Structure 1
């Protein structure tokens, strides 16, 4: 499986790739490196607004609550 083309500049991935939370690693497996790459809300946000979304915005569009 390929990786998202935006991975190197994705704030969510860079911030949470080593996180211990199962939810974050699950989202990374499904959206950043998996079958849901094309439905990532972070990609849609970037396309619509021309800028990257907040780092704490998950690929589902929800915000990470710590």
Structure 2
């Protein structure tokens, strides 16, 4: 698999995929379309809680600080 199966409904990806912030584009490359896909805390949150996490929750579990 070359990208996460949840991309179409992932609030973080949809909000930050075109971000010029290096951190966000790095997370997209590593977690959304890369080797850390199965380590995504957003995916774990959705599985545990049955709902999507906040859009500003990064794949590491931290929140985006603007």
Shift of residue 46, structure 1, vs aligned partner: 0.1
User: Which residue of structure 1 lines up, in the alignment, with residue 10 of structure 2?
Assistant: 10
Q: Given the two structures, how large is their TM-score scaled by the length of structure 2?
A: 0.98
* 1:20 match: 20
Aligned position for 2:63: 63
TM-score, length-normalised on structure 1?
0.98
Q: In 2, Cα distance between the equivalents of 1:30 and 1:2?
A: 11
What is residue 37 of structure 1 aligned with on the other side?
37
* Aligned-CA RMSD value: 0.7
| Deviation of the 1:25 alpha carbon | 0.1
Aligned length: 66
1:60 CA displacement: 0.1
Task: Give, in whole Å, the separation in 2 of the partners of 1:32 and 1:61.
Answer: 14
Structure 1 runs (4+) deviating above 6 angstroms are none
The separation in 1 between residues aligned to 2:18 and 2:38, in whole angstroms, is: 23
